[in-house]
Amino acid sequence: MSRSSEFRAGVAHSAPLLLALVPFGAVYGALATRTGFTLSETLGFSLSVYAGSSQFLALQMIGTGAPVWAILIGVFAINFRHVLYSASVGRHLSRFDGVEKALAFFLLVDPSFAAAEARAGDGVVRKTYYFAFALMLYVGWALASLLGALFGRLIENPERYALDFALPIYFLAQTMAFRHRRQFWPVAGTSAIVALLAYATLGTPWHVTLGGLAGILVASLRTPETPAKAEGEAA
């Protein structure tokens, strides 16, 4: 595919996600200003951290007066999955140089991880496609945060609309697209069980990290799929 077609594909595939991401980011912006963040702090947090779940967690902990060290540990725990994402997606970035990989990893969030893995399954993850997709989400998230900070006070009780569930539902749908692979149910099942147990005993955000690590452990202990088997099962 040409660069222009790869660019158009990246933009087209990311555009539907903005329908979920924009209101989610706007809710963050509104809650951030209500927590006491200035406009520049709200936007700067989105541009530098760029991780919705950890940004919401940080807002909640700041609102309760939690110490800085506790906030840092919480954000690290809930964002540790990005280390796992990088390890997986990094296998497909052979066409990227060092600087491009660093930028790709910075822009690596749940939807871009799912898109890169799906793209790798169909062929090659090209730079034009990846950055068109990822930058659309990054800019959209920043603009949504800004809009939320500016106009969020006009929305009374934003939690009632359950907008924070939009992206998790999307990512669940992306995850289920891999359900026909032989390794899927043992890995996903173990990860889900461990995550539920961790949530019930340790609470958030440790269930995200421990569930992901449990799934990786099961995947590493199982016999890898051979290309011939994978093609046979897909047929």
> CA 182, CA 201: separation in Å to the nearest integer?
30
Contacts of 79 (CB under 8 A, 6+ apart): 51, 53, 54
Q: What is the model's pLDDT at position 140?
A: 94
Which tokens go with 28? 């963050």
Write out pLDDT tens, residues 86-113.
888 888 888 889 899 999 999 999 889 8
- Which of 141 and 207 is assigned the larger pLDDT? 141
Cα angle 191-194-200, degrees, rounded to a multiple of 5: 135
DSSP category for residue 179: T
Residue 135: is its pLDDT beyond 80?
yes
DSSP category for residue 146: H
Number of alpha carbons in the 13 Å side-chain half-sphere of residue 101: 14
Q: What is the model's pLDDT at position 213?
A: 81
Write out pLDDT tens, residues 110-126.
889 888 888 888 778 88
The residue type at 192: A
Write out pLDDT tens, residues 3-37.
888 899 889 999 988 888 888 888 888 888 888 88
> CA 43, CA 149: separation in Å to the nearest integer?
8
Q: Which residue has the tokens 């936007």?
A: 43
Contacts of 155 (CB under 8 A, 6+ apart): 26, 27, 30
Confirm if 29 and 147 have CB atoms less than 8 A apart.
yes
Nearest Cα residue to 149 out of 158, 136, 138, 161: 158
Confidence of residue 75 (pLDDT cuts 50, 70, 90): confident
Confirm if 218 and 186 have CB atoms less than 8 A apart.
yes
Distances (CA, A) of 84 to 64, 110, 162, 170, 215: 30, 11, 28, 19, 11
List phi, psi (to 5°) of 153. Answer: -70, -10
Which tokens go with 67? 């110490």
Write out pLDDT tens, residues 172-198.
766 777 788 778 888 889 989 998 998
Confirm if 50 and 112 have CB atoms less than 8 A apart.
no
